[in-house]
Amino acid sequence: LAVRQGCQRLRQLHGGVRSGAAGGGQQLLHQRFARGDVLIGFVHRRLARLRHRSRLQRAELTQALSRLREHTTRDELTGLINRRHMRELMEQEHQRCIRSGRTFCLGVLDIDQFKKINDAHGQGAGDQVLRVVAEVLTQDSGALAVRLGGEEFMLLLRGRDAALRAEPLRVALPA
């Protein structure tokens, strides 16, 4: 608004010079244009800083959103998909199977005697056991491994040979 008003004032001054104003009017006009250039330069620099700050903030928000998504879809300890996200993925897979005629298999795993491991060796050892199980379950790139909670895990395997592919993963788990 201030720039627009300044431009209108310059037009008025310029009109006065054309209509025969004294030579001093022309000098005043040049001073006004110089002030306008300074103002435009200031506004331009200010806008550039604001745009830069906006880009930085947008990048920070994108990173924060990515971290938030990660926290809401992954188990913090194992890095596996969590129960909440698995529900969404199962529904998507079900719809995909209806459309394509493919099949999938779900396997539920429970670590036997896990409470005894925690009691005898401490929670740190129990956490390490959970991480090892998660690592073994992610060896099949076609499987989705999920930590349901505690010592319970689930595998979603796609394809007709899904049940056959689950067995080597079960056998690979230490007793």
Active site residues: 151
Sign, CA dihedral 135-82-167-95, equals: negative
Q: Closest Cα partner for 101 from 158, 61, 42, 56?
A: 158
Residue type, 170: R
Q: Which residues have a Cβ under 8 Å from the Cβ of 16 and sit 6 or more positions away? A: 25
